[in-house]
A and B are shown apart, each in its own frame.
Chain A
């Protein structure tokens, strides 16, 4: 019903709908659009980096600009592309998987998205306002303190705003999973993607505040003259590294765990088998998350923390390989004895297993302290984290997109183009990054604008750049696929993959209330159970009745806009008095909207029973 109605509405109405929506499925669309946009931007930055490195002592870009590129590539890909894309998939799927009609805090869900979007835009405004941040995505002090201009200020404020959005999103998912599961959906019956969403949200909740504090300290030092990192006044630069990595290491698990969840769904569905060792998978995920908080100093082996600290963190880090190994073998065992269908979604999962195993393997290698004295800050590490973040997270996002596209948009992505994307991207990826392990060991540190002639680094870099073009080609094919599918794509059935979990019960795309009647859950793989032992659909847990839904609101957009404006005020008040107008004006908008939200009652509305009855099933 909704799609037909949507096509008839004008562009303005659709835009207003998206600006004010609190529906988790539309917010998912927004996240995918925003994250996709920044992913392309980060990709362009990556291509510029690889072109600069195609030959020794190249001058495609200047040294300063190169540093801006590499900083923005990392920051964009992690904060503005990978995480929002994952949050988009979580928003689209998780409430459906637990049989909920919406999330716990629909208003906050929208606020989280707009904060991320405006934070990302603010950060990228720096390109046009005197230069982007240039101190690396890690923003190490004192380099980030001494970096001239406003680049790093944009980094600080942009990430602060975007980070607040992510934190809000995390809390929302946690509360949703705790309180809004359908009857019978016990914790140990939740699909693995829901589990990883839950655990990832916990990581977001406990990791992001450390970044918040780090960014505040950096902001105070840069803008208000405090002395946290000013060695002359007793400051200490290592504090930043600790705070950053206390956030930063859990952050990489925030990126990878949802991907693990996606692969668990995809592999089980396309092997037509229950996930092997479900309980072990859940506890392995928890263990990875828990250990993820204990290992931050392995990013700091060369800082000089001493052999005791280094050894402890090395062993804790190696320990993470055990639960990760359990997961890999469980996926293999899920496929073992199965009935494997290979389509574009499954291809990404199949490509993931060897790729991620290599990434995990180099992960153990870099955990070995003395060996890390060689790997650290070289292209070996660059290769390692691209193997886990691209080979894990990006492959996972692409698997998830191909898998859930029909559910989200009602159409199936074109299979031929999907396969072409996979093969070019997969081959390009290994061409680009495998050789970088060796470049690192052959003496190429990371974040190098140029490498010198006659240092034996030419061939490897050339191969790497060629690979990057293959990856770019794959992404372009995917974009064409998206447009083609939107126009001419095959209409999807409600359950196109013979799925196992609840999202395949809802319509494709689902009605805005998801389920007319909340389903009753009888076990793990709720839909599969009904298909094999029941009536093919879950039994309703309630009689048909009025459905309570939240009201749309424009306030989240305005609040984020207020912070966006105030952000410019903070950045420019250091050298322009007019900036205080922006600062106080923006804060006034933000606080004003907050007050409206608190003081004005918002009870939502009800969809009456008779309206539901008149709608087709």
Chain B
């Protein structure tokens, strides 16, 4: 029996290794292919601890296999009574001391990395963004830049960006696996962490602290672009005129409806700090609708008429007047053309 038990285990391990090698997950979501400073620190520790622990596991499994092969009850020896051993001081010392050494090997780099990532002394020399977690969307306020945006966080590649995070309701957790580990977003105190992307790209972010029915739909993006592109984006965002009239008549009607239906009560366009609902300044450039759906007019119409069908438990449902399908289409038309910048998720080279 132990024979095929061993074989099954070997097969499982082999299969899984193959699976892991072929796919570490999606390149802009996985923590196994880090493209940011924090994620790299984490990854190094993951590798180190896995190796050390695999050594321990291997030792255990070798002894285990020998025991199972050599010491099973054999035919003809049913009445054999083994020697009743009390213990062995040397052996017991060995398997106490070696693990301590192994743990020290892990502990030292762990502590070093912990202090390294908690070092916020350079915060004042770098870009600071106030991050607000809301059920179920993210708001980003570029400190001192007159830029407010939601869901898509643009950052310059290679630069440390300090995130000062606080929640407006329940606890959330900010996690972009490919560039950084997570940190909780609490309602009563501000937590600061920095992220630093090492390659351009659109990185998928997720809420990692259970926050209600749409916890699994609270996705956001971190879009790392080159410094020049970032400067361009900042300029474009600062130059937005929130009252600018759109080109097409449908969109103009949509803009009128946007005001008439009092969407402005919650959603700001431009750098107004109001943030009851997501800021829509560059809505047309968003990588996703509501963080999870493809951004197109059909989906947007559905959202405007029945947000509950996309994000259960969201705070928009029931808090705005009825919108007909025709009206929703017009508002959608207006929102889709809010594209203040040439710097979009595509600028990051990848999607």
Contact = CB atoms under 8 A, between A and B. Distances in A.
A361 B180 CA distance: 23
B215 interface: yes
B180 A443 contact: no
Interface string A251-283: 000000000000000000001111011111000
A414 interface: no
Contact of A314 (B16, B46, B100, B111): B111
B25 A142 contact: no
Interface in A325-345: 325-326, 328-330, 332-333, 335-342
A467 B63 CA distance: 28
B184 A303 contact: yes
B42 A374 contact: yes
Contacts of A279: 87
Contacts of A362: 53
Contact of B181 (A318, A336, A373, A447): A373
Interface range on chain B: under 10, 10 to 19, 20 to 34, or 35 or more?
A: 35 or more
Given A378-B208, A441-B31, A369 B114 contact: yes
A321 B99 contact: yes
A78 to B, nearest CB: 16
Interface in A223-245: 231, 235-238
A364 B106 contact: yes
A311 B216 contact: no
B67 A335 contact: yes
A335 B71 contact: yes
B178 to A, nearest CB: 8
Interface in A421-462: 427, 430, 434-435, 438, 441-443, 445-452, 454-457, 459
A448 B110 CA distance: 29
B208 A377 contact: yes
Interface stretch (B74-82, B227-235, B236-244, B279-287): B74-82
A277 B92 contact: yes
Interface string B79-115: 0111111111001100110011001001100110111
Given A322-B103, A447-B215, A307 B169 contact: no
Interface in B93-148: 95-96, 99-100, 103, 106-107, 110-111, 113-115, 117-118
A315 B107 contact: yes
A455 B92 CA distance: 47
B316 interface: no
Given A237-B171, A441-B25, A441-B31, A142 B184 contact: no
Nearest to A498: B81
Interface string B1-33: 100000011001000100110011110011110
Interface string B188-200: 1101000000000
A337 B71 contact: yes
A354 interface: yes
A63 B24 CA distance: 28
A532 B284 CA distance: 84
A97 interface: no
A438 B173 CA distance: 20
A471 to B, nearest CB: 16
Contacts of B204: 443, 455
B312 A64 contact: yes
A338 B25 contact: no
Nearest to A356: B60
B159 interface: no
A443 B39 CA distance: 12
B41 interface: yes
B86 A318 contact: no
Contacts of B178: 443
A369 B216 contact: no
A285 interface: no
A191 B50 CA distance: 36
Interface range on chain A: under 10, 10 to 19, 20 to 34, or 35 or more?
A: 35 or more
Given A303-B184, A370-B41, A441-B32, A342 B72 contact: yes
A457 B182 contact: no
A329 B16 contact: no
B85 A273 contact: yes
Contacts of B43: 374
Nearest to B23: A456
Interface string B157-184: 0000000000001110101011011111
Contacts of A456: 23, 25-26, 29-30
Contacts of A238: 186, 188
B84 A274 contact: yes
Contacts of B56: 325, 357, 361
A336 B71 contact: yes
Contacts of B219: 452
Given A336-B67, A443-B206, A369 B110 contact: yes
Contact of A365 (B32, B46, B84, B117): B46
B212 to A, nearest CB: 6
A445 B215 CA distance: 10
Contact of B46 (A277, A374, A447, A450): A374
Contacts of A48: none
A435 B180 CA distance: 22
B189 A271 contact: no
Contacts of A135: 210
User: Which of B12, B114, B211 has the most chain A CB within a 10 Å cutoff?
Assistant: B114
A12 interface: no
A560 interface: no
Contact of A311 (B42, B87, B114, B186): B114
A205 interface: no
Contact of A443 (B30, B91, B187, B188): B30
B96 A321 contact: no
Contacts of A277: 86-88, 92
Interface in A55-108: 62-64, 67
Contact of B20 (A353, A358, A438, A451): A438
Contacts of B266: none
A107 to B, nearest CB: 41
B246 interface: no
User: Which of A271, A278, A342, A364 has the most chain B CB within a 10 Å cutoff?
Assistant: A364
B87 A280 contact: yes
Contact of B210 (A63, A143, A307, A452): A143
Contacts of A370: 38, 41-42, 45, 110, 113-114, 117, 181
A195 to B, nearest CB: 16
Contacts of B184: 302-304
A143 B49 contact: no
Contacts of B177: 374, 441, 443
Nearest to B115: A307
A136 interface: yes
Given A321-B99, A333-B91, 19 more contacts: A136-B210, A276-B86, A311-B115, A336-B67, A358-B57, A362-B53, A368-B45, A370-B110, A371-B45, A373-B117, A373-B180, A378-B208, A441-B30, A442-B30, A442-B31, A443-B177, A445-B175, A446-B210, A456-B25
Interface of A: 62-64, 67, 134-136, 138, 140, 142-143, 146, 231, 235-238, 271-274, 276-280, 302-304, 306-307, 310-311, 314-315, 318-319, 321-322, 325-326, 328-330, 332-333, 335-342, 350, 353-354, 357-358, 361-362, 364-365, 367-374, 376-378, 427, 430, 434-435, 438, 441-443, 445-452, 454-457, 459, 532
18 contacts: A67-B212, A143-B210, A146-B169, A146-B170, A276-B85, A318-B107, A322-B99, A332-B67, A342-B1, A365-B53, A368-B110, A376-B181, A376-B208, A445-B206, A445-B215, A446-B210, A455-B204, A456-B26
Please name the 9 residue pairs, one residue from A and one from B, whose CB atoms are nearest each other, closest first.
A373-B181, A442-B25, A448-B216, A443-B29, A307-B118, A63-B213, A304-B191, A361-B53, A371-B45
